[in-house]
Amino acid sequence: MRIPYIPLAVAIGAISATPSLATPTVKPVAHKPISFVNDVIPVLTRAGCNQGICHGAAVGKAGFKLSLRGYAPEIDYNAIVRLAKGRRINLARPEQSMFLRKPLLDMPHIGGKALERGSAEYTILTRWLAAGAPPADMQDAHVVSLRVTPPVQSLAPKANLQLRVDAVFSDGSTRNVTHWTRFVTNDETVATALPDGKVTVTGVGQTAIMIGYQDKVAVARVLVPFPNKTDAQTYSRLPRANYIDTLVYSKLAALRLPPSQSATDLEYLRRITLDLTGTLPAPEEARAFLANHDVKKRERLVDALMARPAFIDFWAYKWSDLLRVNRGTLKDKGMWAYYSFIHDSVRDNKTWDVMSREVLTAKGNTFLDGPTNYFRTALKPEELAENVAQGFMGIRVQCAKCHNHPLEKWTQNEYYGMANIFARTKFKADLGIYVNDEMTVYNTASGDLIQPRLGRAIAPKPLGGPILALDSSRERRAFFAEWLTRPDNWYFTHAIVNRVWAHFMGKGLVEPVDDLRETNPASNPELFDALTSDFVKHKFDLRHLMRQIVASRAYQTSSGSVPQNVADDKYYSHFLVRRMTAEALLDALSQVTGKSEEFPGMPAGYRALQLPDTHVKSDFMDILGRPARVITCECERSREPNMAQALLFINGELLNRKVSAQDGLVDRLLKAGKSDAETLDELYWVAFGRPPSVAEREGNLKILRKILITPTTNAKPEQKSAFEQTRRKSFEDLLWVLVNSKEFLFNH
């Protein structure tokens, strides 16, 4: 169950400068027996003994190993009481136990001093030892949830806040566990949190404080408005295209962030054409759009772009990244079958729930049935569970394979319950041998995955979903797919909405986009839920979702910032600039220079975004961060700059070849007899989708006049030839400059 969102309007009220800093008193309950799980384990966690840098490491430390953050109390009890021949404890004289003396530094301890005599922690451990070191009692009440106070708080700069955490137990009781809780801040540039739960504001913006106690997590959100003078009526007067704008403006108002002005028609045209089709608008298209005075021209442009083959190619390529279309794994026939399935699904506007079910329940021959290839990308149940969770639910569950997730609620048992869904998915080759690597995906009626720590199978259970009995005859993948694609499945619906939103807006409502967890809340939860509700209401129609986003004023805001919102990079007060993807950039260079790229084994004229997978050789795209499609993670695609990319543009063979190509753009313009001014204008229209400014035109023409001395009518042929070569070279240099500019390389 997810933590309910409390609207800021209700939670904030007046901004609190310095809320109460009274730290909750830490007192062990004297009349109640000490519980190994509910008392001893929290002490070890608080002291850091079971952390990854200490005895909670995979191999332990100094011969003593504990489970990470106490996820397996039975292992910890055995390690403390029974291993090392029981020498770690002394029940006759508890205070002489090595278990106590080392953290007190009465004995050498690599980890330093971790315990103080007379402290609450010391009292708990000595009482437990004095009671005979009783093991975990399975009848003890266990923690079912955490309650943090306050859950949401708006603070002034440099203010402090004391959080209180109460654990709710299975018997209905509650306990103040603030002292034993882990506090981690998602963004320390906004606020920091000390181990005692004291929060200190360090900057402006919004952040979440992750709260962990035992295997349960909760979140407190802190909002610190920017120091801008704003008028509430300013936001009420802003134009709105749909509900997206209302919710974006509400967040901006709470943070005192003014939005930038709207993008111009030509800025919007370039942006939307790149975002929907991965291509640049042609000069004639840009001129026509600028001259069009229809008030609905932007809306009609979106419809026209979605009707283009380039739209289908672009989104088929994008979903092929997510679904890992990779001939290295699938072989050529399998890759083409898989890619064709995805391409056809985009062409037919197949809804996301239907497409997902078809992939996750696929059976048959991998060369004939495209979606079956999804299961060739990961042959083990554990790998399939991890890929499905991250790809379709936005959950990074990998950490829970070895121990309970340190940042989320997922336990090791839940990991193996999820993995056991795929334990009966099998693969075979015809005639018992691999024939051209052709395989068949099928289901068996038996077989389970063993949870290694327990030595037994865990009943199949989707993350956050219902249990399927181990002896059930129901086909497990069908059971999972039916549950996954339900309209009320929070993770499935929000995961795809977040991916699509991030594509158009430059950053997800949750970042990273495939890391949805309670301890990583959305920057605008109300907007996130509204987008998802609308998506579900329209039956998982991806094109409807796209139309809603690009119609919003938030999407159509200028990328130019104003002084009051220049520091904003997550609340959408201005459009977030980002570099074009490797494939789109290569296609743009080919489009602008008029020289298409030739790909090995592909028909002439193929664009990079028409390629079925990323194994078609291209050093250019590899250097610019093209993903290999070997993992299910958005992080596999990189847009981070590096020196190799700079050299690729400054003196790369591909760019120089395209710019100076015979029958390329410059060559055609000069052969058409265009004047210097006409050629200059056309280069700007082709590269930027706009005419040069007055300063750009005059400045460039001035430079050209200095370089070019027009030969007289009686000049020698070689003089005329030299002039033409110099003129050609000058315009090639100008085109090179344009495509090396930020205006060309970035979507803005």
Mean pLDDT in residue range 593-620: 95
CB 588 within 8 A of CB 596: no
Mean pLDDT in residue range 551-564: 97
Across 107-111, 482-486, 583-587, 664-668, least confident range: 107-111
CB 578 within 8 A of CB 506: yes
SS3 111: coil
Across 104-113, 154-163, 572-581, 714-723, least confident range: 714-723
Supply the pLDDT for residue 6: 34
State percent of the chain over pLDDT 70: 95
- DSSP assignment letter at 738: H
Predicted confidence band at 10 (pLDDT cuts at 50, 70, 90)? very low
Residue-wise burial string across 507-526, b where 16 or more C-beta atoms lie within 10 A, e elsewhere: bbbbbbbbbbbbbbbbbbbb
Question: What ranges in 578-691 are assigned the alpha helix state H?
Answer: 582-593, 619-623, 643-651, 653-659, 665-671, 676-688
CB 151 within 8 A of CB 197: no
Supply the pLDDT for residue 19: 54
Mean pLDDT in residue range 111-136: 92
Mean pLDDT in residue range 559-581: 96
Length of the chain: 748
Sorted by sequence, the CB contacts under 8 Å of residue 268 that are 6+ apart come out as: 298, 556
State percent of the chain over pLDDT 90: 82
Predicted confidence band at 379 (pLDDT cuts at 50, 70, 90)? confident
The domain spans of the chain are 8-23+140-224, 36-130, 265-311+497-578, 351-484, 660-747
Supply the pLDDT for residue 154: 95
* pLDDT of 1 above 90: no
Max avg pLDDT among 25-34, 96-105, 262-271, 647-656? 262-271
CATH number of the domain at 8-23+140-224, please? 2.60.40.1080
pLDDT tens digits, 329-342:
999 999 999 999 99
* pLDDT of 476 above 70: yes
In 3D space, the residue among 286, 748, 290, 280 whose CA is nearest the CA of residue 560 turns out to be 748
* pLDDT of 431 above 70: no
| Structure token digits, residue 86 | 């029981």
- How many beta carbons lie within 10 A of that of residue 644, not counting itself? 12
Cα dihedral 8, 11, 12, 13, rounded to 10, equals: 120
Mean pLDDT in residue range 610-633: 95
In 3D space, the residue among 150, 136, 148, 121 whose CA is nearest the CA of residue 216 turns out to be 148
Spatial separation of the C-alpha atoms in residues 563 and 654, rounded to whole Å: 39
CB 93 within 8 A of CB 431: no
Supply the pLDDT for residue 708: 86
pLDDT tens digits, 291-328:
999 999 999 999 999 999 999 999 999 999 999 999 99
Supply the pLDDT for residue 90: 92
Q: In the beta sheet, which residues pair with residue 147?
A: 166
Spatial separation of the C-alpha atoms in residues 280 and 745, rounded to whole Å: 11
Predicted confidence band at 80 (pLDDT cuts at 50, 70, 90)? very high
Predicted confidence band at 262 (pLDDT cuts at 50, 70, 90)? very high
For residue 265, the number of C-alpha atoms closer than 13 Å in the C-beta half-sphere is: 18
Mean pLDDT in residue range 501-507: 98
Supply the pLDDT for residue 242: 97
At 39, give phi and psi (nearest 5°).
-125, -50
Q: What angle do CA 38, 41, 44 make, to 5 degrees?
A: 145
Spatial separation of the C-alpha atoms in residues 585 and 590, rounded to whole Å: 9
Supply the pLDDT for residue 8: 34
Spatial separation of the C-alpha atoms in residues 697 and 675, rounded to whole Å: 13
pLDDT tens digits, 13-60:
334 445 555 555 555 445 578 999 999 999 998 888 998 889 988 888
For helices 381-393 and 412-419, the axis angle rounded to 10 degrees is 100
pLDDT tens digits, 139-169:
789 999 999 999 999 999 999 999 999 999 9
